[in-house]
Structure formats: C-alpha cells, structure tokens
Amino acid sequence: MASDQDLAELERRSNDYVPEYKAPLVGQRQSTQALVAEYAQADPVYIHKTTALPRTYSHYRTIRGDGNCGWRALAFGYFEALLRQGDSSKILAEAARLKSFNTLLDSMGWNEEFYEDFVHETLELLKKTATSIDDGTLILDRFNDQAKCSAITYHFKLITSAWMRSQAAHFADFVPDRDVKLYCAKNIEAFTVELDNLGLQALATAIVNKAGIAIDVLYLDRSEGEEVTPHQWPVFDADNNVLDAPTIRLLYRPGHYDLLYKAEDISDMSISSLSNPEIRLVSNPTIISSENPAYSWDMETSEDMWEAIPGFSYGGMPFAEEHFKSEPISPIKGALSLAATGQDTLSLAATAESPLTVQAASPRLIEPSRVDGPFRITPKQQEFDEMQRSSVQPEQGETDVKRE
C-alpha cells in the first residue's frame, strides 16, 4: 500500500504534468470529407451531420485542443477574415483600434509593462498583413509559433475581460454572485480555460463584430436535425439590418473548436489583393509602349518581365545596400504597384509612406535576385550599358532613383 508521502508525490506529478502535443497549433486547411471518414463508424446522428457538411462547407482547419482552441480559432479567424477583405487601410485601422484598448486595460489595473508584449505581437502581425501580398501563410506561421500565438491569444483574452468588466451591469445577471470581476479572473483571464458562451459574446462584441466580421458557430452534437446546428453573431448596419459580412465559421464539437470554410471563403483568399490609395496590388501591370526600342519588350521572347522594364536601378541610392541587404524584396512583394507615367518614368509604390520614383535617365535592365538583394545586373544590361556608355550619360549629380 502506498504511503502518504508516495500519494503526495503522485499528486504533485499529476498536477505538474503537461501533455506533449504533436498536432500543430493551427493546422492546414483540408477537405471536410476527412470529417465524414472520421465519423463513418459513429452513431447515426453524427454520420448524418458529417455527411451533410461537405454540401455547404468545403474545408476545415484543425485547432490544437489544449484548452485555448476556441480563443485561438477566433483570433486566427479574425486575421484571416481581414486578409480576405483585401483592404490594407482597414487592417491598419484595426491595428489602431486594438491599440486604443490599452486605455481600457490601464483602467482595469493592468500596467503597460504587463501587457505590452501581447499588444506588440498583435499589432506587428496586423501591420505585416497590411503591407504584404500573402495567401495566409504569414498568419499561419505566426499562429504556429507558440510564443507569438500565446501572446496574441492572451491579448484577445485581456481585451475581452476588460470589456466585460467595463460592462459589468450587462453581464452581472449571467455570472455567479453577479461578480463579473471574479468570473473574468477565473474564466476569461486564466490561460487554459476554454472559451464559453459568455466570453464568446463579449469577444464578438468588443473585437470581431466591430471589425465588420460575423461569427457562425456550427454545433456538431447529438441535438435534433440532419445538419450541424448554427448559432450566429452577425454584423448590423445603423438601421439594425444584418449585413453580408466576412464570416468566421467555428465547428464546435463538445469541448473543442475547429474552423470551417465555405468554398467562397477559399476563393476569396486566393484572389484577395490588398488595396488603398498608396498600396495597389496589380496582377497584370500595364506598361505603356514607347517608340524607343530601348523601352520595348516582347511577351513571347522575354524570359522575365522584369528584364523588359527599363529604368530600374538602385544605383545612386545612398540607402540601397543597407535597405536591400537587411530585407530583400521579392519581385512580387516589392512591386506593390507599377504604373507607367511616361516614356522615361516608372513609379514603384514600395510602401505607403515612401513611394519610389525610378527615373530612366540611364536605362538599365534588372533581374530579381534573392542573393545580392532584389536586383542584379544581367548580361543584357551590361551589353546595353556598354553600347550606351559613350552616348547616354546622366547629368552630373543626377541619380537613377530618387525619393519623393
């Protein structure tokens, strides 16, 4: 028979045990046919409901079941829904709005040193999402980094808790002893306590719906019906009409949340492009033709579109080497917008704050490279430069690229 000391040691080990999870924090999208196969041997209620899923929902994404799956699913879905809208101005506005919650966090007694790292990770991902052309890979990578994912998730929990406490009169009737602060401490702020209906309501109101994003929770349980049971948190306009808004779809199985997608959600993700007055993503930039053969190009013979665009050079840019070596820009991510403004000028809007104007005083041909920076001189360019060196020279002090 085990002694009291042995039992105490077993209890200590049990309390200290942390399971090893092999599943990713957020999985890749996969067909909902996988759910049909998973429940093929279940009871008829689950068989009927999972069999019906693919008719409406084409894909789903697993979320690790570690006590934070609901919070993580909604936080990930929030970023993904913003990306699907393709509006960088909206994403940056969301970054400013979430930062404004710092005042509310302060009013609840949390000082900035406590929450600043959580806020930083959230805002950094929003800003990177706003200035990148991405299919969601960046967001998925961040949410599979344990430290970054935990920081963002906990930021959402803190905002939710602060919101509930600031609206205590509204929530008091739904919590034990009408003590909203105690309820939040035990059920919202505690890191491994799963999302409940009250927390979901507060999170939807404070963060998700305010961003113009709806939430659908689809219950896969033993309730009546041949399909999953929906529960919705829609977005309303000023006249209280339900808007057709981008939607986070949660698949709820008792004790666990995953993400669901309709076919149009996947389509929106694949074709979305970020846009605002200064950052315009164009899949087929229009290059105005020129009578000058040095500026002409042939789609059939050019090996690389970039080799056919004259006037690109970072020669003469005092900041070029430091900037490009620290963070090389790929042709896709660097060329956020190309617009031919005349025979001798092309405009490259690389960032919202600092557009570049590339002058063609000494036409140069460029080729993308991830080795020496974004561009390197090609044999064609060398040949052209040698041919033009004696006849085409820039004015003294003139540079190929200038900042506006």
Q: Known catalytic residue: 69?
A: yes
Identify any residues that bridge with 258 across adjacent strands, giving them in sequence order: 251
The CA distance from 136 to 28, in Å, is 11
Token pair 């013979």 is found at 301
Q: Known catalytic residue: 66?
A: yes
User: Among candidates 307, 295, 313, 309, which has minimal Cα distance to 358?
Assistant: 313
Identify any residues that bridge with 217 across adjacent strands, giving them in sequence order: 231, 250
Token pair 């036409």 is found at 363
Answer for the pair 366, 281: CB distance below 8 angstroms, yes or no. Answer: no
The sign of the CA dihedral 155, 158, 164, 165 is negative
Burial class of residue 118, CB neighbours in 10 A (0-12, 13-18, 19+): buried
**CA-based Rg of the chain, rounded to a whole angstrom?**
27
The one catalytic residue in 48, 66, 120, 304 is 66
- Four-point Cα dihedral 49, 53, 59, 65, nearest 10: -20
The one catalytic residue in 48, 120, 170, 256 is 256
CA 69 vs CA 50, 108, 155, 190, 328: distances in Å: 20, 26, 15, 14, 35
Q: Known catalytic residue: 385?
A: no
Amino acid letter for position 401: V
The one catalytic residue in 69, 87, 155, 184 is 69
Q: Report the 10 Å Cβ neighbour count for 218.
A: 22
The helix/strand/coil state of 309 is coil
Token pair 């666990």 is found at 256
Catalytic residues: 66, 69, 256
